[in-house]
Amino acid sequence: MKIFQGLYPPYFYKEKAYKRNDSASVPVDSLELSRLILEGQNCSYDSLPSHASNLHFSILEKALQKKIGIEKLTPDLLITLGLREKNGKYTNAGALFADENDYRGIDLVKFGDNINVMLDRAQIEKVSVLKLYQDALQKYRQYYQNEVIDGAYRRKK
C-alpha cells in the first residue's frame, strides 16, 4: 500500500500536529508547524506582506545593474521580483533585500585551536541579505583563499 502526502498539511490528530516523513508520520515543533501551515496555503514566509515600509534597495540595484544591466530598479521590477505587492506593500523578501531591515543578520567567527578561542568576529545585523552575503564572502576570502604561483602564473586558490 502506498500513502501519498495530503494536499493541506499539517495533519492534526488528538490536538498534535504531524507531517509525513517518508512512510511515517512524525510530530512537528512550532516552527515547523508555522512553515507547514504556510505550505498548506501555498504560501511561503518570503511572499507574506511585511510590516516594513519606505524601504530602499541601493545594494540590490547596484547588483542588478552589474549582473543584468538594468538602468534603475523600478516599482514594477520590485513586483516582478516578488519584493513588493501590486498594492504597494512590501513582502518579507523585500524587507530582507532592503538596505536596512529589522532582521538579526549573521555572526561570522574565525576560531582558533578550539571554539573557545575566537581570532576574529564580525556581527552584521539589520542590512540587506546581499550585504550579508558579500561580507561573508569577504571574510571567507580573507582566511581561506590564497594566491599560488604555478610556473609563470599566479592564481587564487
The label of the residue with cell 564572502 reads 137
Whether the link from the prior residue into 10 is cis, omega within 30° of 0, is: yes
The label of the residue with cell 534597495 reads 57
The label of the residue with cell 508547524 reads 33
Per-residue pLDDT of the chain (157 residues; tens, 9 = 90+): 666 666 666 777 787 877 777 777 788 887 788 777 777 777 788 888 999 999 999 999 999 999 999 999 999 999 999 999 999 999 999 999 999 999 999 999 999 999 999 999 999 999 999 999 999 999 999 988 888 998 899 988 8
Q: pTM for the complete prediction? A: 0.69
- Distance from the first to the final alpha carbon of the chain: 52
Q: What is the pLDDT of residue 66?
A: 95
